[in-house]
Structure 1
């Protein structure tokens, strides 16, 4: 498997490019799907793709901006998903809640992932069979990794987490019958990571996402002991091409949880 530290170093390098642009003025364009894009998205992706050619030669890469330009590699059982700047809306609004996402997928599942929030100096990594870890990054220098893990389902109220920029009435309806004591809004793939380190219990998503948005955070959460499932209870799958009624690599709605027991609890209560 690709070394997590190599992926982490690459994410930090891309994050430095993002922060350089973030510190000044930048233009915002609109892609064909109406989502925003900046120079930071494009330059960070170029850094990541160059690095992956060096540390993961021969593994196909599906990257957000390359895909937006109509350039998608042919994939096999093993491939890499890249979102160079997840949470571009958070980047534009300058709230710091944006991330660099790199994930390795094997057999339709994310088996290794790196999520880096450069403005917050927070780095998360996880891999199947190795566990999940977090570190701080200051001035481009990473601290030692510390293990993280999901928390057991609390006896009292749950903490739910959701999108700062893409909330939906469906999510409120889903959460209504559950014993939710607190709802936290956060941008980007940080939502997966907060569940992974035991700061939240569940993250329901009733909104548009693509595989590059979710794979790295999903890998970290699974490695920390959590689960990510569709609303019929099946694990969220990756490498979805030639889908009836949707584009390549588009995700269905999903539920991310810390304690896997919450899958049955939540889906039963909201059925």
Structure 2
């Protein structure tokens, strides 16, 4: 299943790149939270949804690009969680920092994660306790987190957190690296960064694939209360996550 999902993510990414490199204008609209959505988001969504149904028609799907009644989903214990084009702002800025995110949730936990960065042609994947980085198709290298004493802190490029300044005031020696999309999770997983603090709003489709990869690589994704980020649909009132911290400690 993992290989099929990786292939699907690459397919969606190749279509995204056709739009990215095209001289034709992109159709941009804005959601209620003022975040952009484009025809490219919808195109990638359709490709991934169709592909996942062909892999297993019995697993339901939650995607950023569709509206769901949470009450209808509450009983789901196994479901796909996807963000077809994570980092739409970065896509529109043409800085390359956007990804295709696909994850499988089982019993409230992301057990499979795939993140493909089509501009860089790099794919990250995980299944349970193993995580990989694939620079060339078919050539995977296992990745693990790094416990370096010199901290590299990863922050969001397009979503600055007001609380970040206070958080950093309590840390002495560190280097900041700003990045778009779920690539922030990937840098933690492959040992380039040690901490990714997030205080602002995210949705469960923003984090699930990265969460799976970081945990498989030996890291943690916890709320600021020290509890692992949870993807249960039975008790939540929305698809929003609480604030969290991705770290190797």
Q: TM-score range by the shorter chain?
A: over 0.9
Deviation at 1:32, TM superposition (A): 2.3
Aligned position for 1:145: 140
Whole-angstrom distance in 2 between the partners of 1:83 and 1:167? 20
Aligned residue for 2:12, secondary structure, equals helix
Does the 8 Å contact 1:159/1:180 carry over to 2? Answer: no
Aligned residue for 1:59, secondary structure, equals coil
Whole-angstrom distance in 2 between the partners of 1:58 and 1:238? 19
How far does the alpha carbon of each residue in 1:181-239 deviate from its partner, in whole angstroms, 9 at most, with x for none? 20000000000000000000000001110000000011000000001000000000013
Alignment length, in residue pairs?
245
Aligned position for 2:7: 9
How far does the alpha carbon of each residue in 1:15-43 deviate from its partner, in whole angstroms, 9 at most, with x for none? 01111111123121112222100111000
Aligned residue for 1:65, secondary structure, equals coil
Which structure 1 residue ranges, 5 or more long, are not aligned?
263-271
Whole-angstrom distance in 2 between the partners of 1:132 and 1:242? 29
Aligned residue for 2:229, secondary structure, equals coil
Aligned position for 2:125: 125
Aligned position for 1:82: 82
Superposition pairs of residues 1-271 of structure 1, within 5 angstroms = 3-24=1-22, 25-67=25-67, 70=68, 74=73, 75-129=75-129, 131-137=130-136, 142-152=137-147, 154-155=148-149, 157-240=150-233, 243=236, 248-258=238-248, 262=249
Deviation at 1:87, TM superposition (A): 0.4
Does the 8 Å contact 1:239/1:249 carry over to 2? Answer: no
Deviation at 1:241, TM superposition (A): 5.5
Whole-angstrom distance in 2 between the partners of 1:57 and 1:171? 42
Which structure 2 residue ranges, 5 or more long, are not aligned?
none
